Amino acid sequence: MTRMKLLSAAMVAITLSPIAASAQPADANYCGALAVKYERYLDMNSKRGQQPQGLDTRVALEKCKAGDTSGIPALEQALRNARIDLPPRS
């Protein structure tokens, strides 16, 4: 039975990996677009040597700039809170 579970898990992983791989570049591009928009409209304080809105948002910004898409939700929320339209997600 354990062998069957391992085989099933391997089949699921193989089946889903192309989907995940194809989503990554789109997510990375979207994350980058969020970072650009955030810096353009909300990160004015960084030009004065001050921290932008919050530490969580700053970490999210740095993650997106480094290609880590886990920053997407925080940047989306910061832009929504400022009533700035999100960039299109392709």
Residues 67-78 pLDDT 10s: 999 999 999 999
Give this prediction's pTM.
Answer: 0.66
Mean pLDDT of the residues in the chain:
76
Q: Where are the domains of the chain?
A: 24-90
Consecutive H or E run containing 41: helix 2-41
- 17 or 67, which is more confident? 67
